[in-house]
A and B are shown apart, each in its own frame.
Chain A
Amino acid sequence: MGTATIKKELIKILGEKKVLTDDLDLMYYSYDSSFLTRLEPSNPDAVVIPASTEDVQKTVRFAYENNINIIPRGAGTGETGGCIAVNGGIVLDLSAWDEIVEIDAENMQVIVRPGVIHANLNEQLAKFNLFFPPDPGSSKMCTIGGMVANNASGLRAVKYWSTEPYVLGLEVVMPNGDIIITGGMKARTIKNVSGLNLTKLMVGSEGTLGIITQIRLRCFPVPKARGIAMAVFDNLDDAPATVLDVYQNGVLPSGIEILDSSAIKAVNEFKPEINLPEAEAILLFEVDGNPPSVEYEGEIIRNVAVKRARSFEWSTDKKRMAELWEGRSITATAAARVRPDGSRIFAGEDISVPLSKVADTLRAIRNLGEKYGIRVVNYGHIGDGNVHTAPVINPENPDEVEKVLQLVHEIHLLAIEVGGTTTGEHGVGAVRRCYAEAEHGKAVEYMRKIKEACDPKGIMNPGKVF
């Protein structure tokens, strides 16, 4: 079916207001936050902005009947090209569908449509003293639908893990237009082992199996207290050793972040007034819970950290906590601004490695940067081995682009080699699918079989994941 006909038919089915067909409008859907789409943006044939499950169903049925690709999209904050029509098709922009259907406080859960913004959800849940714990750095703009589709996590994954354990059930429009409810059609339970777990199958499937139109999430009570510790190390290896030691002493902080020397340098160059100590590594611990337990655990972290750290500070004072945390929160920005004639790029940015390999990996990435003559800024969630690397280049210089693509490829290979993965929380999308065989071997075949069973025509977000 030609593009012009697709546009005409969609308008016929859904009405003019829910369909974007103008070429200029479509350009706005040619990118996400990936380096891939900075190099090669690609327009969809049309964009549908659904406001109901029926809208989605109508669109999907039309696409199914006519073999047209369907690409679901949240806020487009992803870093993998996952929501881009790399082979043409209809993009479903679910980000405007932002209704919180029900806060079921007595059952500790909430039901939302996919476009609800993470921060907005927690703002509403706070009224019931509840929260949805995974906390991506993009909390203010990313959607719950996108988080579920990518199984996103964030700073507090150490204690609270990723999105997956919180997803109790989903409404999904399957590629043929069927609507299914996973996790029990009527269930409002927290535990449920009845049947094959289709919920978990859908979480992290990146839009390759169906369109998530409703999400039932488990919520936790909001912790009453919080404390932040900062430990400074002259030796990089002492950082992961300290993290392990903290765990072995029975403390599970909510987050443990690392800045290596590249990040410390970038922060100090960007904001000299923050004046981070020059060091090989800085660790930041966040502990939450009830006030006595937070103080108690803070004390344990202190006793463990001072064995190796050059300096240590602990605070439960709001203002001081914000100051201590500033080094971490500003790292991403610093990476973006550290080179006046350059820009950070999102590529090779999300590897995750075993805790025991973090120090070696950080060193190896710095060496790779030197090898290619590219500045890299490393930071990340050391508590779970998730390393964020920010290469800083001039993206309009073809030489630098070519070199950085090689650098990124080596970073991905490195992750697999040390027993890690190419992506800890951002997803595979279009940019990391080439590593599927290397990471999963024969298991990829079974992924494809599942894909075929759900999506026999292969119209759901093709060119992604595997």
Chain B
Amino acid sequence: MKFKDLPPVKEQLMKCVRCGKCRSVCPVFAEIKNETAAPRGHVFIVQALRDGKVAPNDKVWEKLNMCLLCEACSINCPSGIDVHELNAAARSYIYENNPSIGRELIFDVLWTNQFLLKTTARVMWGFQKSGLQALARNLGLTKMLPGDLSQAEKIMSNIPYASARSTLREVNPAKGDKKYTVGYFLGCGTDLFFPNVAKAAVDVLTHNGCEVIIPADTKCCGLPHIANGKMDTARQLAVHNIKIFDSYDLDFIVTDCASCSATLSPKNMEFLLSGLKIEDQAMAFAHKVIDLNKLLVDILNIDLQGEEPARKVKVTYHDPCHLANAQGIKEQPRELLRRVPGVEYIEMRDSNRCCGGSGTYSVTHYGISMKILDKKIDRAMETGAEKIATCCPSCMMQLRYGINRHNWDCQVVHPVELVNQVYKDNIALYTGN
């Protein structure tokens, strides 16, 4: 489909009245503080692209790429414009006219291939564990990486040796009476960086009567590709994943990753695949996709009985943009946390403000990303929490980095890890282990 015929470009561009409401909610604008970072400005530039008033070149790419795609502007837009979709569509248009070999390599080759992605993570793991990382840092070698990439390896610190996929089975039977058959969409971030979250998700689901299937050959959800202008690759990945999951008979397709569930959501599937042959199949697939917190609270309504410990743990919660903004899921993760015995839940101010992680943004825009992160950590520290819970590997990585940056004694967890701990503790209580 041509750029100007894409639904957001065709239907929404003309709706922007440039009222400026987006200026009041955009985390990037709050740091840069001039109009070149205003979401309405990006909409204006997308219109200029459509009308041929600016060329699809690197300069325009850089401007539009300032946006985190956090969707704060979209959900607050009085005219109902999906600003993030316009931005993503424009990135794709620029990319088609202006391909870059570097991005080709990263997003078409590396990030579409489980094996290669895992191998890269392994190499980085070896690099960290061998102490070479410190040596390289001391010698300033990491500074020789392009742009802010030298910061990337710091943000991705503590890469676990074993990925989730290498330790989890494909079929995980329900404990007790089976209620549902659930497909588990294992996202790249959870798989490679937070295998404990995946393990906890599977344990909690099976504990609550779900048979959990983890199809072997799923690929990335496609969000990194959409964000980097590789819409065609994102489409191919979506089609691949839809076909894989359709070969099972599933009640739900669950994911613990906010970005994956947002990318696989009906709204985004429509954005990616509307008008294509696979649209109906894609929508049926997308309607089965559910966020893990939502499944545990709204569908399974899990009951967590455990002994209240003598001392409660203070936990606060950070809303991932792709959960709160993209899907409106705010209450379920909080409810889950409140149900965990021993958790004293404390709300932080501006809990739904982006942490600045946004996938590769913290690497490509290190300076701004850190300013946004510092505000987030300040808000979190005000609560006196001992743990920050959140539901997105990119946020988890970013928050963990922020905590270290502020020398704060705090842990980042996914709510499901705390839930699973209750089950583990209960088992320990009953068996005396």
Contacts and interface: CB of A to CB of B under 8 A. Distances in A.
B12 to A, nearest CB: 10
A343 B79 contact: yes
A346 B79 contact: no
Given A337-B79, A337-B80, A28 B18 contact: no
Contacts, number: 88
24 contacts: A20-B34, A20-B36, A22-B59, A24-B59, A24-B60, A27-B44, A27-B45, A28-B35, A31-B18, A32-B18, A33-B18, A33-B20, A38-B17, A47-B34, A77-B20, A96-B33, A96-B34, A119-B24, A333-B78, A333-B79, A336-B80, A340-B11, A344-B17, A394-B14
A141 B23 contact: yes
B41 interface: yes
Contacts of B299: none
A71 to B, nearest CB: 13
A138 interface: yes
Given A28-B41, A76-B35, A336-B79, A140 B17 contact: no
A76 B18 CA distance: 9
A29 interface: yes
Interface in A37-57: 37-38, 41, 47, 49
Given A24-B59, A49-B34, A140-B24, A343 B80 contact: no
B38 A28 contact: yes
B8 to A, nearest CB: 13
Interface string B5-17: 0000001001111
A159 to B, nearest CB: 26
Interface in A8-40: 20, 22, 24-25, 27-33, 37-38
B243 interface: no
A33 B18 CA distance: 5
Nearest to B15: A343
B221 to A, nearest CB: 30
B63 interface: yes
B54 A395 contact: no
B19 interface: yes
Nearest to B76: A140
Given A27-B54, A28-B35, A336 B15 contact: yes
Given A24-B59, A93-B34, A395 B14 contact: yes
Nearest to A24: B59
Given A20-B36, A24-B54, A49-B34, 12 more contacts: A25-B36, A27-B54, A29-B35, A30-B44, A38-B18, A96-B33, A138-B21, A336-B78, A336-B79, A337-B79, A345-B17, A396-B14
A20 B79 CA distance: 29
B244 interface: no
Contacts of B80: 336-337
A305 B213 CA distance: 65
Nearest to B63: A24
Contacts of B17: 33, 38, 336, 343-346
Interface string A165-193: 00000000000000000000000000000
B328 to A, nearest CB: 16
Interface in B63-89: 63, 78-80
Contacts of B35: 28-29, 76, 93, 95
B135 interface: no
Interface in A318-373: 332-333, 336-337, 340-346
Nearest to A330: B78
A64 B424 CA distance: 75
Interface string A384-413: 000000000011100000000000000000
